[in-house]
Chain A
């Protein structure tokens, strides 16, 4: 599935649309270069799950936890990870045992330790706005894409 998003507001609202169809446990990879709007999309997603505060970039903290009604959501940014093994220090095992939604930016840095994605979202620059490509790696992900295409 391919979509064009013209500005920040559209990126946030796509995140929100996706969130409304997501049920935990679920792992979503957010791929794309710096400045393609991965965190912006995540912001729309987390807000739609009912979080009221500021959704800050997790680049420095690596992980921002959100305890929300109905589901816990963990927003990762693995950009600063030197080795996938470091995920152990973040307590990833405990988070995987929980029924939670994992949103993961820069997932390639956690290869081997990170759970496989149900849904992969790839963001790319375009002269105006961004192109978003969705692919699924599980039945659950497949179903999500079908749901999104219906709208």
Chain B
């Protein structure tokens, strides 16, 4: 079975083709590729989230990459939620309409299910059950994955996502936005002993996160330092603040992961999302999982962030189980992960 996947839940337009025998045949993000003139004439500078003008040329591009035609597609999967309603409706309308035109089944996919199943696209996929920690600019979630459609949300951020805290703190330290990776780079030169930031919500039971306070703590630390050392601050002081901030986020994430592993007895941890590229976080989680006698998995970076491949894969799992949508489409911006059917 060959499935076209379309992701348009937020900023990225992502398209992919997954084949149950051949695996992932092609995948592309609008931001990654140049759409050739033959696929749509002169391509203007498109606003982010302008999925309408990006999706069809991208589908043609993916077919071209995979050297296939629309006749070989057996089903269409599109992100139906959660996300921005306007963005979701574009992908849903296109996906459902193409499936109708091609006379194949269509299925709406839950965006987070896509992320949770993304590690299954790798050559050495984790076995069920596993704990997934999704850390990105938009999400910080710990989920227990028992199988396809069997997800238990263990904890999530109550305010800012971890990646958002990185980006905003970077901005406060006058690094360009989004500056998460630059902050991490600056932190490498920082003295870990100079400042100590709190580890929010680690001193009480539970697996929820709160990162908004760390941003404020960084701001207050910076203001106090400016009163002593002048404005602008010496680079070393900025690096010291960056280091203290990064240590606090990494430590907090590690403590909650460890708690989830111990609480559930599940020894496999999958870390995904843009923040999972952070070197110190990987080291810290890796060491912790070794001590816990378990193993940590990291999908490759392009499957950690929003993409069409995970939607094609999750859609395939649902379609082959016989699920499909009737001849209409809808978007569900607040779709609860727990309401998904098990396969």
Interface residues, chain A, CB within 8 Å of chain B?
Answer: 8, 34-35, 37, 39-40, 43, 54-57, 59-63, 65, 80, 82-83, 85-86, 88-91, 125, 127
Given contacts A34-B168, A85-B47, A86-B48, contact A60 B10 (CB under 8 A): yes
Give the complex CA separation of A89 and B158 in angstroms.
27
Residues from chain B with a CB closer than 8 A to the CB of A85 are 47
Q: Which of A37, A57, A88 contacts B161 (CB 8 A)?
A: A57
* Inter-chain contact A57/B212, CB cutoff 8 Å: yes
**Alpha-carbon distance A40/B48, docked complex (angstroms):** 28
Within 8 A of A (CB), among B54-88: 83-87
CB distance from A33 to the nearest CB of B (A): 8
Q: Does B283 contact A (CB under 8 A)?
A: no
A86-B215 contact given A57-B159, A60-B137, A61-B10, CB 8 Å threshold: no
CB distance from A16 to the nearest CB of B (A): 17
B174 shortest CB reach to chain A, Å? 11
B157 touching A35 by the CB < 8 A rule?
Answer: no
User: Which listed residue, B48, B160, B333, B334, touches A82 by the CB 8 Å rule?
Assistant: B48
Known: A56-B157, A91-B85, A125-B219. 6 other contacts (CB 8 A): A34-B171, A35-B216, A35-B219, A57-B212, A60-B161, A125-B223
> When chains A and B are docked, how far (Å) is the Cα of A4 from the Cα of B111?
42
Contact A34 to B215, CB < 8 A, known contacts A39-B159, A56-B157 = yes
Interface range on chain B (Cβ under 8 Å from partner): 20 to 34
B161 touches A86 (CB 8 A): no
Task: Evaluate contact between A91 and B86: CB separation under 8 angstroms.
Answer: yes
Contacts of A8 in B (CB 8 A): 213, 216
A103 CA / B336 CA spacing, docked (Å) = 24
Q: A54-B158, A54-B159 given as contacts; is B216 within 8 A of A61 (CB)?
A: no
Closest partner residue, chain A, to B138 (CB atom): A60
User: Does B50 lie at the interface of the complex (its beta carbon under 8 Å from any beta carbon of A)?
Assistant: yes
Q: Is B185 an interface residue (CB 8 A)?
A: no
Q: Is there contact, CB below 8 Å, between B84 and A90?
A: yes
Contact A89–B49 (Cβ < 8 Å): yes
Name the residue of chain B whose CB is nearest to the CB of A92.
B86
The distance in angstroms between the C-alpha atoms of A138 and B218, with both chains bound, is 37
Taking CB atoms and an 8 Å cut-off, the chain B residues in 14-65 that contact chain A are 47-51
| Contact status B168-A89, CB under 8 Å | no
CA distance A62 to B159 in the complex (A): 14
Distance, CA A49 to CA B78, complexed state (A): 34
B12 interface hit (Cβ, 8 Å):
no
Tell me whether B164 and A65 are in contact (CB under 8 A): no
Q: Decide: A39 near B212, CB < 8 A? Known: A34-B172, A54-B158, A125-B223.
A: yes
Which residue of the partner chain A has the closest CB to B52?
A89
